[in-house]
C-alpha cells in the first residue's frame, strides 16, 4: 500500500521539474556572447545544506571572443570570516554551438560544462573540484542563469554530492 502512495508522488515530482525549453520566448533575450564580453562584476554567497551562508565573495570578470570561442577570466575575492582576503582564479574556455548550446572548460572543471540558452535563461551542468580540508572533492553543479536586464543577470547553482543537494550558490552579475 505504501508503494501505491509513493508512486504518484514520485511521478508528480518528476513531472514538475523545469526544463530550459520552458523559457522559450522570454525576454530579454539572453545573448551569451554579448553579455559575457568585456568587464563584469559579480557578488555572491555560498549556502550549505541548511541554508546557512558559509562564504561571501566578489568576482571581477573579463570576457573576450574570437568568433564562437571565448575566454572568461574570473578573479574571486572572498569577504569576511576565515576566508577574508583569500583569492582564487578560474579561466573558462567557452564555445558556442548550434541552437543555443554552450560548452565550457576550466582547470577545476572535470570534463566539460554543457548547457543551452533559451529565451532569457541558460541552464548548464558540470562537475567541479573544490577544496575540502587539505584535499579536494568533486561536486556536481546544476547552474541556472537568468538575464534580468541587458546588463544584469541572476545565477543560482545547486551543489550536489552523491545526488544530494549539499549547498547553493547565488550570484548577481553586472556588466560594467
Query: What is the torsion angle, in degrees rounded to the nearest 10, for the CA atoms of residue 34, residue 38, residue 39 and residue 43?
Result: 30
Q: Output the pTM of the full model.
A: 0.88
The pLDDT value given to residue 3: 53
Contacts of 124 (CB under 8 A, 6+ apart): 102, 104, 113, 114, 115, 116, 143
At 18-53, the pLDDT tens digits run: 999 999 999 999 999 999 999 999 999 999 999 999
pLDDT class of 13 with cuts at 50, 70, 90: very low
- Over residues 52-78, the mean pLDDT reads 97
Find, among 87, 57, 93, the residue nearest to 73 by Cα: 93
The pLDDT value given to residue 1: 54
Residue 162 confidence (pLDDT) above 80: yes
Q: Which single residue is written with the C-alpha cell 550549505?
A: 48
SS3 of 136-149: the string is: EEEEEEEEEEEEEE
Could you tell me which residue, 80 or 138, shows the higher pLDDT? 138
The pLDDT value given to residue 122: 98
Residue 154 confidence (pLDDT) above 60: yes
Could you tell me which residue, 121 or 133, shows the higher pLDDT? 121
The pLDDT value given to residue 10: 44
Amino acid at each position: 500500500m505504501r508503494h501505491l502512495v509513493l508512486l504518484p508522488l514520485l511521478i508528480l515530482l518528476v513531472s514538475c521539474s523545469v526544463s530550459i525549453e520552458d523559457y522559450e520566448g522570454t525576454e530579454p533575450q539572453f545573448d551569451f556572447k554579448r553579455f559575457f564580453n568585456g568587464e563584469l562584476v559579480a557578488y555572491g554567497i555560498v549556502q550549505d545544506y541548511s541554508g546557512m551562508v558559509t562564504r561571501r565573495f566578489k568576482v571581477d570578470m573579463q570576457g573576450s571572443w574570437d568568433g564562437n570561442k571565448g575566454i572568461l577570466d574570473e578573479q574571486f575575492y572572498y569577504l569576511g570570516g576565515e576566508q577574508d582576503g583569500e583569492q582564487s582564479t578560474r579561466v573558462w574556455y567557452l564555445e558556442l554551438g548550434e541552437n543555443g548550446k554552450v560548452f565550457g572548460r576550466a582547470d577545476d572543471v572535470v570534463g566539460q560544462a554543457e548547457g543551452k540558452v533559451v529565451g532569457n535563461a541558460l541552464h548548464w551542468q558540470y562537475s567541479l573540484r573544490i577544496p575540502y580540508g587539505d584535499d579536494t572533492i568533486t561536486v556536481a553543479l546544476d547552474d541556472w542563469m537568468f538575464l534580468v536586464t541587458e546588463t544584469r543577470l541572476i545565477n543560482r547553482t545547486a551543489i550536489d554530492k552523491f545526488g544530494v543537494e549539499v549547498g547553493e550558490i547565488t550570484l548577481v552579475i553586472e556588466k560594467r
